[in-house]
Structure 1
C-alpha cells in the first residue's frame, strides 16, 4: 500500500508531513485531505493560520500528485 504525504505551504513557508498516511489510491488520499481540511474549518484552525495556504499531496519520492487550496 503506498504512503502519501500532506504538506502545507504558503509563499516561502513549508510545513512538511513526515508521517504520511497509507491508502490504496490517490483518490483516497485526496478524500483524506479534504476531510482534514473540513475538520480544520469546523474547529476554526483555518481562521487561525490565515489565508494563502495550500495542501500538497506527495509520494514517498517527493512527486506532488495534487494540490488543494485551503482558502
Structure 2
C-alpha cells in the first residue's frame, strides 16, 4: 500500500482502516469504471479474479496508474 514506508506502518494503517470498514485491495488491475446513479462501478481483476465492485466513492491508488493502449 505504501511501498516506501516501513512495513509495520503499512500493516497498522491497513488494520486501522479495516476497523473503520474500509476494504483495501492491492494488486488490482482496473479494467473499466462506470458512473451509476448511486456512485461508481469498478470492473477489475483482483489477485487474478474478475470482480465488479460498487462504491459511492472511488479512490485511485497513490502509485502509478497504467492504462491499456488503445
- Select the structure with the greater relative contact order (CA < 8 A; seq sep ≥ 6): 1
Larger Cα-atom Rg: 2
Q: Give 1 or 2: higher helix fraction.
A: 1
- Report the TM-score, using the length of structure 2 for normalisation: 0.30
